[in-house]
Structure 1
Amino acid sequence: MASRTHDPAAKPAWTPSARKPPLSSRMMRAIWRGLPEKRYDVGWEPGVEVPAADGSPLVTDHYFPRTDTDGDFPTLVVRSPYGRGLPWSPQYGMLFAEQGFHVILQSCRGTGGSGGAFDLWRNEAADGQATVAWLRQQPWFNGTLGTIGPSYLGYVQWALALDPPRELKAMVVQVGLHDPYALFYADGALRLEQALLVGLGMTYQHRGIMPVAKATLRLQRRMRDIVTARPLRGAYASALGDVPWLDDVMTHPDAGDPYWDGASLARAAEGLSVPTSLVSGWHDALADQTLEQYARLREAGCDTALLVGPWTHTSAMQQGWPEVFAESLAWLRSYLCDDPSEMRPTRVRVHVGGDDTWRDLDDWPSLPPVSTSWVPTPNGHLDQRVLTAPTDGAGSAPLASVRYDPADPTPSIGGPLLSRTAGARDNSALEGREDVLTFTSSPLAEAVDVLGPVSARLSVSTDTGYADVFSRLCDVDAQGRSTNVCDGLAQVETVGEGPSEVTVPMSSTAYRFPAGHRIRWQISGGAHPRYARNPGTGKSAVEAVDFTAIRITLHDGSVLELPDGSRTG
């Protein structure tokens, strides 16, 4: 770890720039509501060059509070591969500077005018350390440092936390990433739509509004042709151009492949002592990663907080921004400014879907989870019952079957996506398809609370030996509208004639099924284009040209496990 060398007397005097932040940022700032009053006017020093670990210039904008007296303000580092303009300039540069922070908004290597070549995840630790080394030489740096940012801007924080500088006193990771493999794959199945959208953002967003807008429209127009191409590999080039790292991602589906060595930064949280605030949404594409981060930090004894709202990956930073900003600001003031006055009293705050309330908890899950078992029946019912060990021959009787045709794949609707179609959606049309199985409870006599990780244990067989199984929990209201709550996908390889056992993690939730509603378990062979189509042949989904329709049979012994949310301590 580099030593801290903060000696203001040894540094040259600093003459603050008189420039105001960009007009576009000031205009966006003016439209936000529900935010605290600003404490300071904001100054702006654009285009500062900070040397990267290899000497490449990292273009950096410096936002700071303007004051007539010598201010002593902590510093926030925000490193981004998405440019330094909208929305980052007003959302982080301006808002936090006007609350009393120096803010360093920096373009990652090879993006936004910074030198060198962008290489997904491989340079962030070294370049983060180089940025801190540069900060130590700045006359306005008071030796107190925090980090903040969403998505990949969270990944660069974990990269710095691998070897945290002594000055690092707080982190705020919002809808953040720590494991690129899990961003792109679920149990070896390619998260196709997500991969394309990440490719779009990484390639074009740092170039400015018009280039990314044109690329977005181009991808939208060509999306169907791209996701149905045979083979799938390289089809994205018609919309995104040549993106070598994306081709690498799509052709390395095995988590154990050396390609992914060092990509996951899970180890950063395992021994961390830097107080860390985590923010996510129940329909955030990275919600599972946030909950994993929280569990590791708690295991390490790190001071941490968790906020999970009714948000998607993007809406957390838009509609949810007043809550997210207040949470983040309170955390930073507490640990960087020694002002805990705005901190909430509990470690965890989650939004409970179904009745649109918030619940404050001491931990997540609030108690060791106890699950209730919901069992499908041959007539399409879903019954809550106590399972006993099967007798000889039990557990193999078929309950229902469905035919999945990769040439006409089961479509994806809503859920934890990066796109604007994410979130809770009406599943009625989807459930009317012949390639979707549903099992539905009777109307509930009283409300059922689900709080914690949801999973399915399936006993399945296939006629080709290869399949995916998509499992979804839904809430059916009194009018028959079926709304998705949480879901997951797992790959299945069956051996012999008997069924195979597979567990499908279905993420976590905080949800109340009101009295009179029904609980529905939805099962299908995929969700396209959210996931690449399983060709049914055992061949790579990216390279496959020939497809085979798959008969998937669900057998007795399959169970939907729902964590009991009535026990909150």
Structure 2
Amino acid sequence: MTNTTAHPTSSNRPPRKPPRLARAMRRTMRGMPAAPHRVRYEGDLRIPAADGGALVADHYFPATPGDFPTLLLRSPYGRGFPWAPMYGLAFAEHGFHVVLQSCRGTGGSDGTFALWHNEAADGSASVAWLREQPWFTGVLGTIGPSYLGYTQWASALDPPPELRAMVIHAGLHDPHAYFHAGGVFHLENALASTAGFVHQHRGNRHFAKAALRLQRTQRRVARTLPLPDACALGLGERVPFLEDALAHPDPADRHWTGADAGRAAETLSVPTLLITGRHDVMFEQNLEQHRRLRRAGCETGLLVGPWTHTSMMRQGWPSVFADSLAWLRAHLYGDRSALRASPVRIHVGGADDWRDLPDWPPVEAVARRRYIAADGTLSRESVAATAPAVLHYDPADPTPSVGGATLSPKAGPRDNTALEARDDVLTFTTPPLTEALEICGPVSADLYAATGTDHIDVFARLCDVDERGRSTDVCDGILRLTPNGSTPARVAVAMSATAYRFGPGHRVRLQLSGGAHPRFARNTGSGEPVHTAREIVPTNVEFHPGSALVLPVVPTRDRTDE
């Protein structure tokens, strides 16, 4: 169905200028291309949900006669800032109808928000409504970050025939992995994202108060057990979906049935662009999405910047917008002129450079092992006669978190020097490099660990130590261990993927500790379930010879002395 009027609408109300605040915020966005269209707006549309309730939406569109494709965004965070200027206005200016909708139970929409449960059905109902609109041409794309990525994956489980392209900005597909990857509850991110789900759709002032409360109560939260009480303290209320997630750490639990929408990628044929950051909380999920799409033979692009979850939408936005617009124009308009030639583009840390690649990870990267020793060295050869390195962890004084993939303003690379001076942190370091060492792909710590009768976590982190001795984190990961006696058991701590260049004179460091609190909930050492644990027990773990850091080294830069 087509429409050639300048002001297509979905209601009897005349279109008007977009909200003043959205226009003001749009003018502050730097590095954006010139806008070829003025924009009109109709707000508070009521779209039938799958259960018959109403989902509230805003519609932004070019104030120009003609046919334009449609972008659908389904958000639990409200429809105001930043979604209105960054998506509603900015993409409508470039020739798209943009429907920005509040998920069930948020932003004035009927019902109760239930994490993940209603997104597939409500997404399908929303497309059914689009089909009835006089301006809808039958050409549809989806776009959006974070949970707006999850709503896209949910809709892709049974993609409508009109869906021609998806653009996912640091979006998740697996809620369980977001809360519990590595077998450890991701406390800090769980609290921050829950505050967003509960409060952001109510307005910026309401959300700011919730964020301030989290900041003000952070120390008390960190000391409080059991964890449901700690979460309620930080949020000011008990949130059922968070407490349910906390009480069900096992991914095979029936609680999580149907939660992982990433299976959509295994059979998807809709061209999908993935944009993320090396320090983003969703980075590993985005790489898994890319792997599944590639195996399915689906056309896919991957852009990985030097960003955290929040900086991607700020400092990274000009690049994010440009690649997103090029992808949408290619697949909704048939104009591939601005599309990048290489399907993968990734920023290389340390070098502050970009690599254009045919695939990820690059096939030429080769796994190289660097072995730890009790004297703190990290070398090419394992010395069998060395004593084990012993790590002590006291949950009464948990090893603090520094930087990393969090939703905090302090996310990303940070100085680890003070952290590494603690007695409960082990470091293993190479001699200074005489030539650059570049790595590109997944990093891990392959450890031979003996825990005796203790319950303990292992947090592993790759760091770059510069000529001045400053240690900066590159990537990391955590794994929960259970008692395995005195005989070492082989365990692999996945430390995320990365692309990084260690410069000449720098040293490569593996950092090991028993946790990173409050980013990850501390292991109390008692063996009690995570959601009921109260008892605190100090613990130890031994790392035996053969334990190694595994790096994906680019062969042309793999020198004999790195």
Shorter-chain TM-score: which interval? over 0.9
Aligned to 2:334: 338
Number of aligned positions between the proteins:
552
CA distance in 1, matches of 2:464, 2:138: 51
CA distance in 2, matches of 1:170, 1:324: 16
Aligned pair partner of 2:50 in 50, 53, 56: 53
User: Would you say 1:452 and 2:448 are equivalent positions?
Assistant: no
Give the CA deviation at 1:567: 5.8
Contact 2:456 2:481 in 1 (8 A): yes
182-191 or 480-489, which deviates more? 182-191
Give the CA deviation at 1:464: 3.3
User: Would you say 1:439 and 2:432 are equivalent positions?
Assistant: no
Contact 1:145 1:170 in 2 (8 A): yes
Query: Any idea what SS the aligned residue of 1:190 has?
Result: coil
370-379 or 305-314, which deviates more? 370-379
* 1:333-412 map, 5 Å: 333-367=329-363, 369-385=365-381, 398-412=387-401
502-511 or 369-378, which deviates more? 369-378
Contact 2:404 2:411 in 1 (8 A): yes
Give the CA deviation at 1:7: 7.4
* 1:66-215 map, 5 Å: 66-67=63-64, 69=65, 71-215=66-210
Give the CA deviation at 1:463: 4.2
CA distance in 1, matches of 2:222, 2:373: 35
Query: Any idea what SS the aligned residue of 1:402 has?
Result: strand
Aligned to 2:264: 268
Aligned to 2:251: 255
Amino acid of the residue matched to residue 129 of structure 2? W
CA distance in 2, matches of 1:438, 1:426: 14
Aligned pair partner of 1:35 in 32, 56, 62: 32
Contact 2:428 2:511 in 1 (8 A): yes
Contact 2:415 2:471 in 1 (8 A): yes
User: Would you say 1:462 and 2:451 are equivalent positions?
Assistant: yes
Contact 1:367 1:567 in 2 (8 A): no
User: Would you say 1:297 and 2:286 are equivalent positions?
Assistant: no
Give the CA deviation at 1:541: 2.8
CA distance in 2, matches of 1:567, 1:92: 42
Give the CA deviation at 1:8: 6.8
CA distance in 1, matches of 2:527, 2:3: 63
Give the CA deviation at 1:277: 0.2
Contact 1:459 1:499 in 2 (8 A): yes
* 1:474-485 map, 5 Å: 474-485=463-474
Aligned to 1:430: 419
Aligned to 2:240: 244
CA distance in 1, matches of 2:362, 2:540: 40
Give the CA deviation at 1:565: 2.3
Aligned pair partner of 1:230 in 225, 233, 238: 225
Aligned pair partner of 2:406 in 404, 409, 417: 417
Give the CA deviation at 1:379: 1.6
Query: Any idea what SS the aligned residue of 1:34 has?
Result: coil
Aligned to 1:564: 553
Contact 1:234 1:247 in 2 (8 A): no
Aligned to 1:3: none
Aligned pair partner of 2:495 in 506, 512, 517: 506
CA distance in 2, matches of 1:42, 1:438: 56
CA distance in 2, matches of 1:471, 1:111: 38
Query: Residues 346 and 16 of structure 1: is their aligned pair in 2 closer, same or farther, counting only changes over 3 Å?
Result: farther
Query: Any idea what SS the aligned residue of 1:470 has?
Result: strand
CA distance in 2, matches of 1:170, 1:278: 11
CA distance in 2, matches of 1:469, 1:452: 21
Aligned to 2:515: 526
> % of aligned pairs identical?
56
Gaps of 5+ in 1: 1-5
Query: Any idea what SS the aligned residue of 1:91 has?
Result: helix
Deviations 1:340-364 (A, max 9, x none): 1101110000000001001100100
Give the CA deviation at 1:65: 0.2
TM-score (norm 2): 0.96
Give the CA deviation at 1:561: 0.4
Give the CA deviation at 1:513: 0.4
Give the CA deviation at 1:223: 1.5
CA distance in 2, matches of 1:444, 1:279: 32
398-407 or 559-568, which deviates more? 559-568
CA distance in 2, matches of 1:272, 1:64: 28
Deviations 1:210-255 (A, max 9, x none): 1111111111111211122122223222342121111101111111
